[in-house]
């Protein structure tokens, strides 16, 4: 039975994908995931969300293809056709990825194994990605079964590695190792096992940062590519001043000036 296991360590929530034996994402797990994300984003005590796999060597293998085939059969039986001028509505999975990107709280994918298809699409929606070294496969191989990455894989991958590399990977259906993923910029780093320890060290640091500053920085960076530069700069300087007069900003700058705090990490 598929489930999302949730563990709390102080202000960090760890969510584990648990769907033996293959570690597929499916509709049941997506429903649980959306509910868990909604609850944790609304919980002021939670400052950072960390996602990882519960199975050895698997983050999310990929979305359950049997569910996609069943959907295909239902649509074909109805004679359904699709066109770019009639966009398909978002599914719960699409909604959840969008919520993670827009959330004021940082998210980390602690990729403890293979993450292909919908599994890697989930990783790309997280703010930070750490991949554990091992004989694991990361990427978007959907073309090998006649489809494409339908939950952001073409769009987010192109933003991470550039259109040329995204085309090569997606058209060839080529997956990569954790080290190659790090070299390409698909993940922030490839790390030795256990990846969760590295992710938790990062989460602990993020949880100590001023939450309003975290939310503002995430919003500005996430929207930068879709915002005209002049508009982005105007928004940035406005949020800069809002932080400057905030309690945290005033206090922490005062500690720096008094010599009791450093600006370096």
The enclosing domain of 182 has a CATH number of 3.90.226.10
pLDDT of res. 264: 86
Does residue 265 sit within a domain?
Answer: no
Does residue 222 sit within a domain?
Answer: yes
The candidate with the shortest Cα–Cα distance to 249, out of 223, 222, 216, 219, is 216
117 and 235 fall within a common domain? no
Given 90, 101, 121, 255, which residue is catalytic? 121
The candidate with the shortest Cα–Cα distance to 63, out of 130, 148, 176, 170, is 148
32 and 74 fall within a common domain? yes
pLDDT at 265 over 90: no
pLDDT in tens, 171-216: 999 999 999 999 999 999 999 999 999 999 999 999 999 999 999 9
Q: Which residues contact 43 (CB under 8 A, 6 or more apart)?
A: 13
21 and 8 fall within a common domain? yes
113 and 222 fall within a common domain? no
pLDDT at 158 over 80: yes
Does residue 262 sit within a domain?
Answer: no
157 and 56 fall within a common domain? yes
72 and 188 fall within a common domain? yes
pLDDT in tens, 31-65: 999 999 999 999 999 999 999 999 999 999 999 99
216 and 175 fall within a common domain? no
199 and 220 fall within a common domain? no
- Active-site residue flag, 121: yes
36 and 14 fall within a common domain? yes
Does residue 234 sit within a domain?
Answer: yes
pLDDT at 1 over 80: no
The candidate with the shortest Cα–Cα distance to 27, out of 55, 58, 64, 52, is 64
Given 10, 28, 56, 142, which residue is catalytic? 142
> For the chain, how many structural domains are there in total?
2
pTM over 0.85: yes
Question: Rounded CA gap, 196 and 130, in Å?
Answer: 9
9 and 87 fall within a common domain? yes
Question: What does the pLDDT average to over 119-126?
Answer: 98
111 and 166 fall within a common domain? yes
Q: By residue range, what is the domain housing residue 242?
A: 210-257
């Amino acid at each position: 039975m598929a489930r999302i296991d949730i563990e709390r360590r102080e202000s960090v929530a760890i969510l584990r994908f648990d769907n033996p034996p293959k570690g597929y994402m499916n509709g049941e797990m997506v429903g649980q995931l959306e509910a868990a994300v909604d609850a944790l984003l609304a919980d002021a005590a939670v400052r950072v969300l960390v996602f990882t796999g519960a199975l050895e060597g698997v983050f999310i293998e990929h979305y359950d293809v049997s569910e996609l085939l069943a959907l295909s059969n239902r649509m074909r039986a109805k004679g359904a056709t699709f066109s770019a001028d009639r966009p398909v509505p978002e599914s719960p999975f699409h909604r959840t990825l969008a919520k993670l990107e827009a959330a004021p709280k940082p998210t980390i994918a602690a990729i403890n194994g293979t993450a292909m298809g919908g599994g890697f699409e989930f990783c790309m929606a997280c703010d930070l990605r750490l991949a554990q070294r091992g004989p694991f496969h990361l990427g978007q191989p959907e073309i090998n079964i006649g489809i494409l990455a339908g939950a952001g894989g073409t769009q987010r991958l192109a933003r991470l590695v550039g259109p040329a590399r995204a085309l090569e990977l997606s058209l060839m259906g080529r997956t990569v190792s954790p080290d190659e993923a790090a070299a390409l910029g698909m993940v922030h780093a490839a790390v030795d096992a256990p990846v969760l320890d590295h992710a938790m060290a990062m989460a602990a640091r993020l949880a100590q940062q001023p939450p309003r500053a975290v939310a503002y920085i995430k919003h500005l960076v996430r929207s930068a590519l879709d915002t005209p530069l002049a508009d982005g700069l105007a928004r940035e300087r406005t949020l800069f001043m809002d932080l400057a007069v905030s309690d945290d900003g005033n206090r922490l700058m005062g500690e720096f000036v008094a010599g009791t705090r450093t600006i370096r990490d």
